Structure 1
């Protein structure tokens, strides 16, 4: 890594999503959210109805608004309202196709009654077919007015005027994947969109957007993928039918001087700008789904596909990587798009408003997603929105957290990219960032199934002697864990040479590490609550204490045991829970206890002692309640705005086996259990009871069982004090 090389900005808009839910958008402070997809090509804001095209039987489907309130209360308004609440920019889709639904009545493009039997029909609306005859041929010659009314520049201008008056300036996609309208929207646009048609419609509709709101941002042509860069929809349709040499010599391209569609499109919009002094296109936008079998939207069940998923992120940037799909050539997408812009319409930004590397419900997918985000920043992409987003608890969401909220308190990577290279990007990828002031922040991704020991070198030196580490990995796929600080070795100062520093670490298998080079965490946790001692018996007692707090999180507690006349005789490390039982002590002897908290950086609070010597009885019944035969610990593993994950462990501290067990606690602040595994739960108000399930009720002496759950919270989320019982 070279800290002397000038940095370049990272656009925050590369961390966008399509249709992210509000809780995740709020937590991540999501910069931008897109309302897009096939259903948005034909949406009528006046009746809040969209046509789902080939996605669902070419049907008009009404939104959730009260028709009497329209256009207020529409699904689009609700979308932008959410974004206003979370401070997120909205990217909406306006139609270039020329049609929008005529009513909320549920009309469909290929009525069985009108056009005859079809291969498939909607089970809930059996008159709506898929437009394919029983013999496998498409129905042609249908009437677009079965579902739609014409909608051109006036319609779009009125809608943007309405939205600007209500919300201010927004971002607008100039339709969605127009080069495959002939497939997705063939009920109203059966012929592939040509070079000239898309230019003319873009000038017409983008002109209406800019006339209604000069500060609006426009993105186009939003093609579906690789072929969209070089071919019109007309050529794609023609060559799909003709095959063979058509793909290398398409007729619509030939009619336009042999110029690839993307270059020609940008040239035409620049010519308009030059002639009229008006920029109609702000972002050159193209969608990108990896074409390797099983990658995009796929699962993580196949090791070969998982490996391909991680390799194929190189098609975004690497000039040496030959795409491992039917594309079978070097794509180098982001540099290619930037070169197209530079050569044909300088000043236009670049965007990828749909992409998905798949398996977002797995750590493999999270690794690929993190790699993609790092590449977007390093390569200078200006805007990106993931289709479709993970849920808050899926690993894919943690990939975004490692860039946008890695400490759980809103910490983000830097706004500028610093030059960083890996000796083997396919194994250990590294991305370096910083803000205008402040520390270097690195994202290091181990894509392998093995722990990798590797050093990071800083040409130009590092300004800190240590680094803070935040880690998400397959070892703990439900939380980001604060690791121990790493030391940074600084080379001796030399005259006439470039300073050099290095940091060595072990990067765990299948992990994402966000590393902050800053001064070591020197702030110790607060002291824990005073310990109390109960269950005194001839052989020991139980110590319980209150929780401590720390700026980065408490890692555990140290419990000191002292013996009269001997001082401290043992220190026990407790990493889970707020209690410990000493059960092998000398009858009749006197003991003391003290407790301290520590964090991941090794900072330790002051010890808090009870201040009393406890003399154990020599024999007979205990002087207080007998020691518990069932011990339970409750641990919060992860917490985010409105939600948390906890783990509870039940231990049999008695002498007899359990055939069943139960745990009870009372929440203090209205928390609710929303999902629980390895047990059955009932909650009445604040009171919670969890019982074993059939397979984990047996518990031998000294054995333990663990269950976990997801919960919701508002206000504060203090850990309760549970009790357990065995039977």
Structure 2
């Protein structure tokens, strides 16, 4: 029986106050990659905390945008918070600004510590309904006043650069570029350890309540401690080693938990990829000597990567004391590709690089196009580290930025990142430097948090979603718990309109008409509502405009279903057109425009019954391995004379390995037994040497042996 899909033909109309329908001429579209959704597979909760933002000044974003988006949490972080003194509301941003102590923006007439900038931040979050992440100094020093600086020219001599407004404050480098050493931390700071943290948290809980009662819920264990030797070298000139990071984390987190046991901690909050491997001491040492192949601090700690060792030590504390000191494993994720983070959109090459760079968050086949020059796969890597060393710890990325938030290119990257966070199961994320309300980057958030201007949100339960070519079209699927609607976000990263089949398994739709919302380069000032989508039981065919983000909401079927008709109705070739020149509305809640609907179109028929078609050969390879985790690839070759139509491959792991993620197939595991069934786009393996490939991530412990035997649709295969 042929299953009928329907064609989505939409016109990207401009939202203009007082207008009705906007009908636009059609343009040709290019065939795009197949998209597949399985509502019954890959289900897991999407944490609302992945949509967070960092503090960037109370006046820079403004409450209207924060309220509109319903931002769930905001972070008080960055280099200046490492040395923040709540008693006098001063901090020192270190190398970011001439190592100067600076007064913060206290409330007018404030009687400190009441009315400090930290208090104002917490109070703003309470007004908008957001949780707060504060940063607890762990470095050991806090600003003593608002006048001192770490490298006084009067005291330490002439320097390479000085602050034009405070010429006695230098950058800590001599005229020849060498760093000034032997600086007294007491020039700028007073000592601050666990007792200071207890005092501050006692003050905060006294004023705002404990975490369980609406007070500050989250606390970072300082910020990018592994590069203190650079950012705060006036008070901490040596990078912290393994032991220092453990001991200070124990002390500061214990102080917090003694005052507020319900508060959650995030650490060790490293600056980037190297933070997962090296201590700050090794980073500093090897930057000078090139000892990356055998870092001395790592060697002194059993050769374990820093993050793995740190997690084991935090687990050891809980095992001994019965108290969890680390709730979230936190590491920052700035792309290392030149020109990508923070910058403008740039030329076509840079824009393409920006869109590729998001693959570093998840893709085991992507070699980072930077000095890293290896697979990063940050979110799965972090989750594997947790599973192997401190199970139950959540994962967080409290700083990231893929740049160009003032452009459509940046919006595409940001939407892709938000989709990746949800799909990969990240627990918490906060964008560094939030966008302005009218920036395209803000619209990327709207497409997940307020696509209709009425609080419409992307789903909170992820479902299996895949693209045959994510470099062109990325798709993210989730079901909404409140009404069980299926929501999809599709990101077209190309300069072409793309028409793709969207196959939906276990489709809950069939109720009221689906809703389609679109943000694109055709109109950067508004989200368009478009019509014409009719979803069949097995999906639809849709055209997605160049450089666009599309949110599709498929309401739950409420009545009995009807078997699909075997007949197929032809459909005209229809695709979206460009928007006419008109005055767009910046507000996404303006009156939406609609477009004409289209007739259904035929789709590819489903596969027939499985047919082994003769002998098979399986090649199983371990393509990457690290403590507790590995990446594998499998190739199935059909040696028979008949094509295999619909396949299931089975094997048994010899050492209890467990699959955590798989692509190009759907996995199922019971004990050590694994089965993988085909995806919709690779269900047929051609005869006489045709092949199908899939890859996976898995956990291992002790021994990582290869399976000895494989079966394809119940028949044994030769193992290559």
Displacement after TM superposition at 1:502 (Å): 1.4
Q: For residues 391 and 491 of structure 2, what CA distance do their matches in structure 1 show?
A: 34
Which residue of 2 is the match for residue 453 of structure 1? 499
Alignment partners' CA distance in 2, 1:248 and 1:282: 31
Corresponding residue number in structure 1 for 2:587: 639
Alignment of structure 1 residues 312-461 onto 2, 5 Å: 312-436=357-481, 437-461=483-507
SS at the partner of 1:179?
A: helix
Match of 1:132 in 2: 173
Do 1:360 and 1:390's aligned partners in 2 also have CA atoms closer than 8 Å? yes
User: Given that residues 525 and 587 in structure 2 are in contact (C-alpha distance below 8 angstroms), is that contact kept between their aligned partners in structure 1?
Assistant: no
Report the Cα offset of residue 5 of structure 1. 1.7
Q: Deviations over 1:527-561 (max 9, x none)?
A: xxxxxxxxxxxxxxxxxxxxxxxxxxxxxxxxxxx
Structure 2 unaligned segments of length 5 or more: list them.
1-36, 56-60, 558-578, 593-720
How far residue 438 of structure 1 moved from its aligned partner, in angstroms, is: 1.9
Structure 1 residue aligned with 2:279: 232
Spell out the pairing of 1:488-567 with structure 2 (5 A cutoff).
488-490=535-537, 501-518=538-555
Q: Partners of 2:523 and 2:104 in 1: how far apart?
A: 40
Counterpart pick for 1:195 among 236, 242, 263: 242
Whole-Å Cα distance in 1 between the matches of residues 234 and 554 of structure 2?
57
Find the aligned partners of 1:216 and 1:399 in 2 and give their Cα distance.
Answer: 31
Task: Note the C-alpha offset of 1:237.
Answer: 0.2
Max Rg structure: 1
- Whole-angstrom CA distance in 1 between matches of 2:502 and 2:246: 49
Q: How far off is 1:461 after superposition?
A: 3.0
Query: Is 1:5 aligned to 2:41, yes or no?
Result: yes
Q: Does 1:213 align with 2:260?
A: yes
SS at match of 2:468: coil
**1:114 equivalent in alignment to 2:180:** no
- The structure carrying a bigger strand percent of its residues is 1
Q: TM-score, with normalisation over the residues of structure 1?
A: 0.70
Contact 2:510 2:536 in 1 (8 A): no
- Write the mapping of 1:18-417 to structure 2, written as runs, cut at 5 A: 18-19=54-55, 20-65=61-106, 69-104=111-146, 106-168=147-209, 169=211, 170=216, 171-243=218-290, 246-417=291-462
**Worse-superposed segment, 351-360 or 478-487:** 478-487
* Contact residue 172 and residue 217 of structure 1 kept, 8 A: yes
* 2:575 matched residue in structure 1: none
Task: Kindly indicate whether structure 1 or structure 2 has the higher relative contact order, using CA contacts under 8 Å at least 6 residues apart.
Answer: 2
CA distance in 2, matches of 1:489, 1:76: 53
1:647-726 matches, within 5 Å, as none
1:295-334 deviation per Cα after TM superposition (whole angstroms, max 9, x unaligned): 1112112111110111111111111111111111111110
Contact 1:638–1:645 at 8 Å: present in 2 too? no
Distance 1:452 1:211 in 2: 57
SS in 2 for 1:187: coil
Aligned-partner Cα distance in 2 for 1:375–1:175 = 26
Count of aligned residue pairs for this structure pair: 521
Residues 110, 116 of structure 2: 8 Å contact kept: no
Q: CA deviation at 1:109?
A: 0.2
CA apart distance, 1:485? 3.5
1:717 corresponds to which residue?
none
CA distance in structure 1 between the aligned counterparts of 2:287 and 2:128, rounded to whole angstroms = 44
1: distance between equivalents of 2:466 and 2:547? 19
Give 1:489 deviation, angstroms: 2.1
**TM superposition shift of 1:269:** 0.6
Q: Which of 458-467 and 91-100 deviates more? A: 458-467
1:636 Cα deviation from its structure 2 partner: 6.4
Give, in angstroms, the shift of residue 634 of structure 1. Answer: 9.9
